[in-house]
Chain A
Amino acid sequence: MPSAIEVHGLTKHFGSVHAVEDLSFEVDTGRVTGFLGPNGSGKTTTLRMLLGLVAITSGTATFGGRTYEKLHKPTHHVGAVLEATSFHPSRRAEDHLKMVAIGAGIPLSRVDQTLELVGLSDVARRRVGKFSLGMRQRLQLATALLGDPEILILDEPANGLDPQGIQWLRTFIRYQASIGRSILVSSHLLSEMEETVDDVVIVSEGRLVLQTTLADLAGRAGTSNGMRVRSPEIGRLIEILTATQVGYRPTAPDTIAIDGATPEWLGPVLAQNQIVVYELIHDRGSLEDVFLNLTQGFASTFPATAGAGAGPGTSHAGPTPMPGGVS
């Protein structure tokens, strides 16, 4: 399948700050690609380089081999949602879209169509200054869709949305992909996007960490980290484990964790010995854990998260310079 977006060796230095460093990835046609990384990992800078808003230090960022500036009528090919603040507050929503449509040579009939598509028809004549953040995001999406582009670039579109808004956004993105659009959507939370994306491009500190499919990432996450058992007869279970030389860690007076154990192994052991169980928990790494592990080594700005149920031995996050602490 041909690539909708190609990024090769992309680099951006702001003075001595290396925002993006030798980044390469591709976005396949007709798929939703999640562009993931912690805050400050260069996602926005990368997207803005793609769109010709930020000058490239070196490397290339192209759509079917052409840079954004070289595209004929770019808004007919690429629709972008960047930040929720880029509206004039005293301009009406409808006028904002008309202004874009006229400037980009898009028929004015698209204005009403896109307003309807994002559910803003009722407030079309309202001034954008009176819009909520969620409404602004929708208006941004309407702006991006005006030219009926085959590629959508969305920078943190879920920021500031309430849970219903995020649910709406997911449905919206899946729908756009189902009608053949290629979508690159950035987020600092994988959990926000894991029901939406097909592929992931994970970056940290401006460098590529991993490009793969969501299925592959889920495979890495699915491996069992162990079992936890809460039982009034925890002493008997410990005797059995000690006898069979299986390691365990007590996590509470009546609870132990057995690292590496699977339900298929532990279930029969409990049944054969007729041990009463109050609670049985399968500790499995979530996608978010995998994501954090992948980006943690790089992300010095992230405070080390208190890992609930994460595997052992990941708690030392390297020499992390903490800036002065909170005062």
Chain B
Amino acid sequence: MIAIVRSEWLKLRTTAVPWVLAGIALLINGLFILVIFLTHNGGAGRGGQGGGGFASSGDTIPHTTQQLRNLLGSGFQGYLFALLLGVLCITAEFRHKTVTTTFLITPVRPVMVAGKLITAAIGGAVLAIIMLVSTLVGGGLALVGRGGSFSALLHQVPAVAPGMILVFILFAILGVGIGSLLTNQVAAIVVTLGWFVILEGILVSLVNGAAKWVPTGAAEAAANLTRNRGDFSLFLFNWWQGTLLMLAYGLVFALVGSIILTRRDIT
């Protein structure tokens, strides 16, 4: 299994897909950081004078614990890219027919799916760390540039990082599960984005109590591993229940996908 994961990791690394995904995630993260600072500035800056870069008093930059955590967690939106990473690492094999070579190396197909689950989980964790580091650098620079405290931001890492890494891992695993069920790349991406961007929100607003059961709700709960966002948490499971529910989604999909794959003719 170690050999398979190492091979899968090389496979992931040597195509453009993960780099493009990480690049887009970073770009979006940069925009979020910008928005955080602009909106903070916006309130105070409106009354300020022209050339007002000096309005760096306490309440124009993130400084409360919650504000700093929100800043550090700006990369959270990247979970969608962890999900796509999981989806693509399996559907790309079918799209480019490399799955033939993969199955020649690993003829027992569930073993291959297991290898991808582990590899995508690692990839998800790496993506989370990239988002955190980029936020620390970008957000930190902006913070310090406006007279804020970098160490205060750094202080929030233990409260934000573990939950974020966990959520990215869970989404990457879910992605592999979806990909093993829907091996057609276009179909898999359309269904994934359709669910997480549109359908899930509609379901949650229509069905009472659905919020805690849908993947995003479960992941939101899992994110509370190390920080407690009291306002949301009322409607959600606690962190380990959310984690188990997310894992269950991913692994059940992967299991059913593996069974279907085992019977499938690779022509």
Q: Is the CB of A86 within 8 A of B266?
A: no
Q: Which of A55, A75, A88 contacts B105 (CB 8 A)?
A: A75
Q: Which of A45, A55, A95 contacts B10 (CB 8 A)?
A: A95
Q: Is the CB of A103 within 8 A of B97?
A: no
Q: Which of B4, B16, B102 contacts A90 (CB 8 A)?
A: B16
Q: Is the CB of B104 within 8 A of A74?
A: yes
Contacts of B264 in A (CB 8 A): 55
Contacts of B15 in A (CB 8 A): 88, 90-91
Q: Give the shortest distance, in Å, between B112 (CB) and chain A (any CB).
A: 9
Chain A 68-107, CB within 8 Å of chain B: the 1/0 string? Answer: 1100001100001011011111111001101110111100
Interface bracket on B: 20 to 34
Contacts of A96 in B (CB 8 A): 14
Q: Give the shortest distance, in Å, between A131 (CB) and chain B (any CB).
A: 13
- Is A53 interfacial (CB 8 A cutoff)? yes
Q: Give the shortest distance, in Å, between B82 (CB) and chain A (any CB).
A: 21
- Is A52 interfacial (CB 8 A cutoff)? yes
Question: Who on chain A is nearest to B16 by CB?
Answer: A90
Q: Do A53 and B106 form a contact, CB below 8 Å, given A86-B97, A98-B10, A102-B7?
A: no
Chain B 1-27, CB within 8 Å of chain A: the 1/0 string? Answer: 001101110110011100000000000
Q: Give the shortest distance, in Å, between B20 (CB) and chain A (any CB).
A: 10
Contacts of A92 in B (CB 8 A): 14
Q: Is the CB of B104 within 8 A of A80?
A: yes
Contacts of A90 in B (CB 8 A): 14-16
Contacts of B6 in A (CB 8 A): 102-103
Contacts of B16 in A (CB 8 A): 90
- Is A54 interfacial (CB 8 A cutoff)? yes
Question: Who on chain B is nearest to A147 by CB?
Answer: B105
Most central of B6, B14, B108, B264 by chain A CB within 10 Å: B14
A74 to B102, CA, bound (A): 12
Q: Is the CB of B7 within 8 A of A103?
A: yes
A135 to B218, CA, bound (A): 49
Contacts of B97 in A (CB 8 A): 83, 85-86
- Is A282 interfacial (CB 8 A cutoff)? no
Contacts of A45 in B (CB 8 A): 267
Contacts of A69 in B (CB 8 A): 107-108
Question: Who on chain B is nearest to A85 by CB?
Answer: B97
Question: Who on chain B is nearest to A153 by CB?
Answer: B104
- Is B96 interfacial (CB 8 A cutoff)? yes
- Is A48 interfacial (CB 8 A cutoff)? yes
Q: Is the CB of A103 within 8 A of B98?
A: no
Question: Who on chain A is nearest to B93 by CB?
Answer: A88
Contacts of A196 in B (CB 8 A): none
Contacts of A55 in B (CB 8 A): 263-265
Q: Is the CB of A86 within 8 A of B101?
A: yes
Question: Who on chain A is nearest to B262 by CB?
Answer: A55
A87 to B92, CA, bound (A): 11
Question: Who on chain A is nearest to B97 by CB?
Answer: A86
Most central of B107, B108, B263 by chain A CB within 10 Å: B107
Which B residues, 80 to 118, have Cβ-Cβ distances below 8 Å to chain A? 92, 96-108
Q: Give the shortest distance, in Å, between B2 (CB) and chain A (any CB).
A: 10
Q: Is the CB of A68 within 8 A of B263?
A: no
- Is A5 interfacial (CB 8 A cutoff)? no
Q: Is the CB of A54 within 8 A of B265?
A: yes
Contacts of A91 in B (CB 8 A): 11, 14-15
- Is A295 interfacial (CB 8 A cutoff)? no
Q: Give the shortest distance, in Å, between A312 (CB) and chain B (any CB).
A: 41
Q: Is the CB of A100 within 8 A of B101?
A: yes
Contacts of B266 in A (CB 8 A): 48, 53-54
- Is A41 interfacial (CB 8 A cutoff)? no
A90 to B19, CA, bound (A): 12
- Is A143 interfacial (CB 8 A cutoff)? yes
Q: Is the CB of B3 within 8 A of A104?
A: yes
Question: Who on chain A is nearest to B14 by CB?
Answer: A95
A80 to B4, CA, bound (A): 19
Contacts of A102 in B (CB 8 A): 3, 6-7, 10
Q: Which of A48, A74, A87, A95 contacts B267 (CB 8 A)?
A: A48
Q: Which of A44, A85, A99 contacts B11 (CB 8 A)?
A: A99
Q: Is the CB of A100 within 8 A of B14?
A: no
Q: A48-B265, A90-B14 are in contact. List 7 more A-B contacts (CB 8 A).
A: A52-B103, A53-B266, A53-B267, A55-B263, A83-B100, A99-B14, A100-B101
Ordered by A's residue number, 27 sampled pairs between the chains whose C-beta atoms are within 8 Å are A48-B267, A53-B100, A54-B265, A54-B267, A55-B264, A55-B265, A69-B107, A75-B104, A80-B104, A83-B97, A83-B100, A85-B96, A86-B100, A86-B101, A88-B92, A88-B96, A89-B96, A90-B16, A92-B14, A99-B11, A100-B7, A102-B7, A103-B3, A103-B7, A103-B105, A104-B105, A143-B101
- Ordered nearest first, which 5 A-B pairs have the shortest CB separation? A103-B7, A95-B14, A53-B266, A69-B107, A86-B97
